[in-house]
A and B are shown apart, each in its own frame.
Chain A
């Protein structure tokens, strides 16, 4: 199954709903090791994204749609999450410019571009206790699944499982990037809020993309 721009828009809307539902949880996680605004900021940004999608005529170009999402996040989220999430979507937009359909290979390339972008922007590597700890394993699992002959839907499912494991792995980590790094050893024992919201993004992909919406959602 391939995904159209309409499927991608549904993914963005599902992510908004998921962020809204988990807003307070994300803010609580951030209060423990950051500045207690991750849920609020992401919620504000994704509401703006949905408002923008509502106000923009639906087109076929997946790249254009992802660019709208990215630019809206950059201009509404603030903090570190705005440029970081914005960069994920803007790089995926560049990788999918002009495409009206994405298959597993197309998504693998887009996810790789998004993850490379966020690493270049934030200069974080695996183990720094950031969103990278969810996104890098997710993109790697997606690519591995596609290259092993899995469908795009199966690859999204594998990516969500990897992202969730990545989130859990942030709990014992000592933060080396962002505000949490000021805590040093005291940051250990807390789940990273950015990795958590990143997992929600991949989880929504597993529910909405790769034909999942047609064959029934996969709970991960």
Chain B
């Protein structure tokens, strides 16, 4: 497969070098170990937010480092978790004395590496809390699986917790915001095409020219169902239906509606999806209080989208509107 890269083994390093050059005012980048750190870190007296995961989901997480969002991101190799020594280094680099929140997506590798890092950081006297985000309704949550995957709600949690931390709130309260987001957000995605990891150089999964995968994961994990491609409006119903039923979101609820592109879908199509999502929700008496449309948590060049809904209250709406200055998300400043 054609890719705009130099060599597969250089992809993550070269991306980080580019990010550093493009956004020198917002972030500092370390190449050994890999980390993206807020330019003015550590911010004394502020709870610091650290997230991370495999690369390939840009702008998440490195693009969300900056004022009002993350203090550091730890990128692993493509679709591979970062390592504990790397997460520890980031945790130490941003600790401003008020403790550090680890925002972890629910994947076994991410959880194990962040757990080990948190143990090491605590041994060095840093207060660390970790919250796991698990919002993908495509996965049946059961004792017999690794549980729901962390997807779109992660972006929202990072923004909202970043705002709470910027207000000077203590670690426990910032962690509570994250837990609240996880409790009240649900997501589901779909793919029109597979992603292609640079090292493999071929599609992660085979999908026919006329097929789509409903419930896809952000690493190309299989979803609930494979079916014939349908019009955008039908796809919205296939995604938003299970999302609404799961929480459930009810008539009278106000939501943040997040239509996310998976990397290979143009904005023109995402707005077509948003148009129908808005109509779909209105038909159920659900009010869209805030929205986000764009490609924020991606799966390399996968074509497709995900829909995330978060039940809003005044407090979350206020945190959402607070200023944010990062490479990937910027407003109010």
| A and B together in one complex | yes
13 of the cross-chain contacts (CB-CB < 8 Å) are A35-B219, A36-B197, A40-B199, A75-B86, A78-B109, A82-B112, A83-B84, A84-B112, A87-B116, A121-B116, A122-B112, A177-B146, A179-B107
A41 contacts B80, C-beta separation under 8 Å: yes
B145 contacts A82, C-beta separation under 8 Å: no
Leading 4 A-B pairs by shortest Cβ distance: A83-B112, A80-B109, A181-B145, A79-B109
Task: Please tell me if A98 contacts chain B, counting CB pairs below 8 Å.
Answer: no
A→B interface (CB under 8 Å): 35-37, 40-41, 74-84, 86-87, 121-122, 174, 176-179, 181-184, 186
Residue of chain A at shortest CB distance from B199: A40
B113 contacts A83, C-beta separation under 8 Å: yes
B113 contacts A178, C-beta separation under 8 Å: no
A79 contacts B85, C-beta separation under 8 Å: no
- Using A36-B197, A121-B112, A181-B146 as known contacts, list a sample of 11 further A-B pairs with CB atoms less than 8 Å apart, ordered by residue number in A: A74-B116, A77-B83, A78-B77, A78-B81, A80-B108, A83-B84, A178-B108, A178-B146, A179-B146, A179-B221, A182-B146
Task: Please tell me if B139 contacts chain A, counting CB pairs below 8 Å.
Answer: yes
Is chain A's binding surface mostly helix, strand, loop or mixed? helix
Interface size of B by Cβ–Cβ distance < 8 Å?
32
A-B residue pair count with CB separations less than 8 angstroms: 84
B→A interface (CB under 8 Å): 76-77, 79-86, 107-109, 112-113, 115-116, 139-140, 143-146, 149, 197, 199-200, 204, 217, 219, 221-222
A78 contacts B113, C-beta separation under 8 Å: yes
Q: How far is the CA of A178 from the CA of B145 in the complex (A)?
A: 7
Residues of B within 8 Å of A35, CB to CB, are: 79, 219, 221
Q: How far is the CA of A79 from the CA of B113 in the complex (A)?
A: 8
B83 contacts A75, C-beta separation under 8 Å: yes
